[in-house]
Amino acid sequence: MGLSIIILAAGQGTRMHSDLPKVLHPVGGRPLLAHVIQTAEALEPEATFVVYGHGGEQVRAALAGHEVAWVEQAEQLGTGHAVAQALPAIGDAGRVLVLYGDVPLIRAATLERLVQAAGDEGLGLLTAHLRHPAGYGRILRDDAGRVVRIVEEKDATADERLITEVNTGFITATAADLKRWITRLDSANVQGEYYLTDVIAMAAAEAVPVRTVAADSMAEILGVNNRAQQAELERHYQRHQAEAVMAAGVTLRDPARFDLRGTLTAGRDVTIDVNAVLEGDIELGDRVSVGPNCVLRNVRIGPDAEVLPHSVIEDAEIGAGARIGPFARIRPGTRLADDVHVGNFVEIKKSEVGEGSKVNHLSYIGDTTIGRGVNVGAGTITCNYDGANKHRTVIGDDAFIGSDTQLVAPVTVGAGATIGAGSTVTRDAPAGELTLSRAPQQTREGWKRPTKDKT
């Protein structure tokens, strides 16, 4: 029996107090809805439908890379009404699974258990037992323990609100059954909405088996309706990420202060200190060390490299044995070869730095090719932008750039050349020679520093 998945993602999310549609708010660096779609894809359904409403075009644009069918819910009249928008595109012979675009941490394995429990003819319902069930619909069972219906909290009696088994919203049924039941829904309730949960009573009345499955963890069923819930889910997600990373052999100095907002591939004996934020695709070679308060985004770092505290590296490649920071910024398009040293308050952008070269202090290197064994002194600036266009600087192997040098691009410093400290270089500097440009030093004897008039 083929499986079709319907993801409900039409809610406005007014309690988020945001111009961004609720399902586009991030957890782990990705929209809530992106997590749910990825989980749906893992189940390999025949089709996945996303029911959208508020901010629909924005939602569709943000998730355009996924193969889903988009179904508009022009009016938000409840979960039953939302499901009804997608059902006409689903054949009667299949099975339907309903997911939620604001419940991002549901696991594919849990959903597989739910579908299997339902069998060919039954209705599967994911439930949970909570000490404090406020806010959830309650599961009502008969004396034999069979589920007979779900009552939403706002419609529940005082006794019904004492029930601790709650509805998570995740449901699976045959398409034929669901289509028949959906047409019989009404909005005679406190909310004035068409509740999907009302189909449970219809199934029980028709003697369709209602089989329940419990989620493995509370985090799986938590949704996002406000910023506090979003933050809570972020920590659940990051704790899971940290546990997976440590299980793969990475040392995290404090798992509670680690954020992975993408993918991490790590070699052996990698160490990551506190408050590191890893975004995009990260690859760390054997024995890489990442210091506290670092941000890595789409970075590949070779073995035995060290990233010292408070450094930011994005869209860059770092060679083996390199040392970065502290307080260094490596910007997109940068490639550092093996054993390169980049020190404190150095910014490098769209540049290649050759093996063993050093840029240790207070420098800006932009649109530059630096050869092997080069020493770039403190305060060096490559002046790469003329106000309209970017120009390139080339520094040959074994060159020595004195402190407080300005290299006005386009310019080439030859191999083995030395640039005297305090120079402004506007023309090519020949290989193996000393080049400098300085105003003659003067001493004015008898000169007196001005003083304030005290009258």
In one-letter notation, the amino acid at residue 116 is Q
Q: Quick one: pLDDT at residue 287?
A: 98
Q: Are residues 46 and 169 in the same domain?
A: yes
Q: Quick one: pLDDT at residue 444?
A: 92
Q: Quick one: pLDDT at residue 56?
A: 85
pLDDT band at residue 454 using 50, 70 and 90 as cut-offs: confident
Q: Quick one: pLDDT at residue 416?
A: 98
Q: What is the pLDDT of residues 270-318, one digit of tens each?
A: 999 999 999 999 999 999 999 999 999 999 999 999 999 999 999 999 9
Q: What is the mean pLDDT of residues 43-64?
A: 93
Choosing from 221, 249, 284, the residue where a domain stops is 221
Neighbours of 371 (CB within 10 A): 22
In one-letter notation, the amino acid at residue 207 is A
Q: Quick one: pLDDT at residue 94?
A: 92
Residue with token string 């959906």? 182
Does 226 fall in a domain?
Answer: no
Does 70 fall in a domain?
Answer: yes
Q: Are residues 196 and 268 in the same domain?
A: no
Provide the CATH number for the domain around residue 350.
2.160.10.10
> CA–CA separation, 434 vs 377, rounded Å?
15
> CA–CA separation, 78 vs 84, rounded Å?
10
Q: What percent of the chain has pLDDT over 70?
A: 100
Q: Quick one: pLDDT at residue 88?
A: 95
Q: Quick one: pLDDT at residue 257?
A: 97
Provide the CATH number for the domain around residue 130.
3.90.550.10
Q: Are residues 146 and 246 in the same domain?
A: no
Catalytic residues: 361
Q: Are residues 216 and 98 in the same domain?
A: yes
Q: Are residues 77 and 49 in the same domain?
A: yes
Q: Quick one: pLDDT at residue 188?
A: 84
Q: Are residues 274 and 397 in the same domain?
A: yes
pLDDT, averaged across the chain: 95
Pseudo-torsion of CA 353, 356, 357, 361, nearest 10°?
110
pLDDT band at residue 191 using 50, 70 and 90 as cut-offs: confident
Q: Are residues 172 and 289 in the same domain?
A: no
Does 229 fall in a domain?
Answer: no
Neighbours of 38 (CB within 10 A): 13
Q: Are residues 157 and 256 in the same domain?
A: no
Does 37 fall in a domain?
Answer: yes
Q: How many domains does the chain have?
A: 2
Does 347 fall in a domain?
Answer: yes
Q: Quick one: pLDDT at residue 269?
A: 98
Q: Quick one: pLDDT at residue 209?
A: 94
Longest dimension (CA), the chain: 109
Q: Facing residues of 147 across strands?
A: 141
Q: Are residues 198 and 269 in the same domain?
A: no
Q: Are residues 27 and 105 in the same domain?
A: yes
What's the Cα-to-Cα distance from 299 to each of 114, 254, 279, rounded to whole Å? Answer: 39, 22, 9
Q: Quick one: pLDDT at residue 65?
A: 86
Q: What is the pLDDT of residues 425-446, one digit of tens each?
A: 999 999 999 999 988 889 999 9
- Check residues 324 and 453 and name the one with the higher pLDDT: 324
Range of the domain at 248: 241-435
Q: Are residues 295 and 326 in the same domain?
A: yes
Does 231 fall in a domain?
Answer: no
Q: Quick one: pLDDT at residue 11?
A: 85
pLDDT band at residue 192 using 50, 70 and 90 as cut-offs: confident
> CA–CA separation, 196 vs 181, rounded Å?
9
Q: What is the pLDDT of residues 137-187, one digit of tens each?
A: 999 999 999 999 999 888 899 999 999 999 999 999 999 999 999 999 998
Q: Are residues 170 and 253 in the same domain?
A: no
Q: Quick one: pLDDT at residue 76?
A: 86
Of 327, 325, 362, 355, residue with least CA distance to 340: 355
Does 450 fall in a domain?
Answer: no
Does 100 fall in a domain?
Answer: yes
> CA–CA separation, 147 vs 254, rounded Å?
44
